[in-house]
Each structure stands twice: as C-alpha cells, then as structure tokens.
Amino acid sequence: MNRIFGGGKKEPKPTLDDAMSNLDTRISTLDVRLSKLNSELSVYQQKLSRMSDGPGKNAIKQKALNILKQRKQIESQKAALQTQSWNMEQASMTTTNLRNVMTTVDAMKEANKELKKQYGKINIDKIESIQDEMEDLLDMSSELQDTMSRNYALPDDVSESELDAELEALGDEMAFETGETDGVPSYLMEDGGGMPQFIDEPVQEDKEGLQTAA
C-alpha cells in the first residue's frame, strides 16, 4: 500500500526544548489540580471545625483523608517532573556550551590557517638583509654629516703666545684709530694738556646781583 499511495511524512523527532516545554505544561496542570484539592480540604476543615463527633463527622474526615492522599500523590508526580525538567535544563546548557566551544574551535582553526598563509609569505632572510642595508645607510649618513660639518678655515693648533700677541696687536690698532692716549680720547686733549674751556669770557655781576657774560 505504501508503494502505491506513498508513505506518510515522518514527523520530526522532538527536541530537547520541546520536551522541556511539555514538562512545563504538565507541571502547570498539576499545579491547577493541587490548588483545587487544597480548596476542597479547606472547605472540609471548616465543616469539621463546626461539627460534633459522630458518624457525619467521621464521613467528612474520610473524604478529607482521600483528598489528602490525592494531593500527596500529585505532589510526588510534580516533584518527579520538576527533577526531569531540571535535568533537561542542565543537558540543554551543556549542549549549548559544547556548541559554543565547537564554534570557537572552528574559528581558531580558520585563524591558524590564515596566519600560516600570511607567515608563509614572509622571508626572514630578506628582512635581515633589509635591516643590514638600513644600518649601513645610517652609518654612511652619519659619516657624511661629520664630513660636511668640518671647518677648514681654522688651524689645527694655536698656542697661547700667539693668542696674546694677536690680542696685543688688536689693542694697538684700536688705540691708533681712535687716537686714545692712556685711555683719554684725542678730542678731549688740548695743546696744553688740560681740559678744554667752553666759556669764552669771564662772568661779571650786574648791579642787581645777576651774573651776566661780559
């Protein structure tokens, strides 16, 4: 029959997330039942508090006892489902961590391939040769600067006696040009050797006691 009409589509297998969602739904259902049983127990407790001992009270107690047994059974089922849900959550977290690790490993593999490819293009010998050439060029530049900074106009050796003679000669030349004698310029000197007189006539006093030139 399957060959003639074709087989039905296979349903996808439930995933871990689907199983966890199913457990959460079942736990929620048990919570609703527990809430209902607790309400019934509360009603019976109120009735028993107002009843006196007798067959009627015993019958209510029996009903309350049955509800209590059901609640304990449901609580046990809920605890088992919660344990399963917890285990599934741990498994899901572990699976997620493993996926992250595998993604990291794959990325590292690709990075290593790229690094090997790039380093394969580098020739260490050529780099060392370039560094040696650069060092030689720097040495040549330093020697060139030293050569260009030489001063060929200055003699190599000058004695102190030569320096004293040159300074004395320069002093004599300056004295001759300015006409100084013993430190006094010639324009301040007169034939008599005294200081020049800038007042031509003697000063006389007039009748009022004021000084005027004669």
Decide if pLDDT at 145 tops 70: yes
pTM for the full model? Answer: 0.45
Asked whether 23 and 88 are in contact (CB, 8 A), the reply is yes
**Measured distance CA(90)–CA(88) in Å, rounded:** 5
Class of residue 189 by CB neighbours under 10 A (exposed 0-12, middle 13-18, buried 19+): middle
SS3 sequence of 45-83: HHHHHHCCCCHHHHHHHHHHHHHHHHHHHHHHHHHHHHH
**Measured distance CA(189)–CA(7) in Å, rounded:** 143
What residue segments make up the domains of the chain, in order of their start?
14-106
Amino acid 74: pLDDT: 92
Decide if pLDDT at 144 tops 90: no
Decide if pLDDT at 3 tops 60: no
Amino acid 127: pLDDT: 84
Q: How confident is the model at residue 213 (pLDDT cuts 50, 70, 90)?
A: very low
Q: pLDDT tens digit string along 96-119?
A: 999 999 999 999 999 998 888 888
Q: pLDDT tens digit string along 30-44?
A: 999 999 999 988 888
* Gyration radius (Cα) of the chain, Å: 61
Amino acid 51: pLDDT: 78
As a whole-number percent, the residues of the chain with pLDDT over 70 amount to 73
Decide if pLDDT at 77 tops 90: yes
Mean pLDDT score, 17-36: 90
Q: pLDDT tens digit string along 44-58?
A: 888 888 878 888 888
